[in-house]
Every structure is written in structure tokens, then in C-alpha cells.
């Protein structure tokens, strides 16, 4: 097995882990738990793309990883918006360090 094969296998493995982690979207009792899956696919997707970039020897794939990293953050903030807006009013605990 060459190093290229190993990297592609590692990419498949991480992708499989992410796929399994998506079950949290199914089970997660609250919406916040589903946002955790967004985080997982963000980091996992970046890992898969970086492994594919080096494994397939195509450097531009790293740009896709860069875009994915930025967008996953951005989407997590968007998805959290409703959670934050509809939560009950709590005292100054939200402002503490």
C-alpha cells in the first residue's frame, strides 16, 4: 500500500466517522445538539479535503477546505441565532467572563 492509498483510506475513514456522527441530528433532543453535527462536519470535512488534497496531489483542494472552514463557522452562528433569540431571559450570567 503506497502512501497515497493510505491517505485516501484515511480520508474515507474520517468521512465514515462524520457520517456516523450525523446520527446526532436524528437523535439530538434539542436543536443545539444538531448544531454539534454542523461543527463535526466542518472539522471532519476539512480533514477529509486536506487528506484528499495531498493524496490526489491537487493543491487547489486546500482552498475548498479553507472555504468549508469559514462557512461552517458562519453557518453555526446562523443556526444558533434562533436559539439565542428565543431563550428565556436570564440574569447577568450571560455577561460573565
Partner 1 sequence: MRLALDIITVVLVSAGGFFFMAGTIGLLRFPDTLTRLHALTKVDNLGLGLIVFGLLPQVESRLGALKLIAIWLLVQMSGAIVSQLIAQAVRRSGRQT
Partner 2 sequence: MTLIFACEVVLAGLLLAIATWTIVARTAFAAIVLFMVYGLLLAIVWVALSAVDVALTEAAIGGGVTSMLLMGAATRLRAPKTPVADVGLPLKIAAGLLCALVTTVLGAVVFFLPDVAPTLAPLAKDNLAASGLGNPVAAVLFVFRALDTLLEKVVLLLALVGVWSLASDEAWGGVPGLPVYARPGPILVFLAQILPPIGIIVGIYMFWAGATQPGGAFQGGTILAAVWLLTMMARLQDLPAINARWLRLLLVVGPTAFLAIGLAGFFIADSFLAYPPGIAKPLIIVVEATLTLSIGVTLALLVAGPPERLPQR
Task: Count residues near partner 1 (CB under 8 A).
Answer: 47
Should residue 58 be labelled a site residue for partner 2 when binding is judged by CB under 8 A? yes
Should residue 41 be labelled a site residue for partner 1 when binding is judged by CB under 8 A? no
Element spanning 39, H or E: helix 31-55
- The one among 5, 8, 20, 92 contacting partner 1 by CB under 8 A: 20
C-beta atoms surrounding 10 within 10 Å: 15
Give the one entry of partner 1, partner 2, none that residue 92 binds, where binding means its C-beta sits below a cut-off of 5 to 8 angstroms depending on kind.
none
Distance CA 10, CA 12 (A): 5
For partner 2, the closer of residues 3 and 81 by Cβ is 81
**Which are the contacts of 35, defined by CB distance < 8 A and separation ≥ 6?**
76, 79, 80, 83
- The one among 2, 29, 81, 91 contacting partner 2 by CB under 8 A: 81
Amino acid at each position: 500500500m503506497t502512501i497515497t492509498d493510505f491517505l485516501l483510506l484515511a480520508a474515507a475513514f474520517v468521512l465514515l466517522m462524520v457520517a456516523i456522527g450525523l446520527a446526532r441530528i436524528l437523535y439530538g433532543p434539542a436543536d443545539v445538539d444538531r448544531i454539534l453535527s454542523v461543527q463535526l462536519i466542518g472539522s471532519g470535512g476539512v480533514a477529509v479535503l486536506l487528506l484528499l488534497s495531498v493524496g490526489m496531489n491537487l493543491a487547489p483542494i486546500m482552498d475548498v477546505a479553507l472555504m468549508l472552514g469559514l462557512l461552517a463557522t458562519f453557518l453555526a452562528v446562523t443556526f444558533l441565532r434562533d436559539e439565542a433569540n428565543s431563550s428565556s431571559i436570564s440574569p447577568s450570567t450571560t455577561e460573565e467572563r
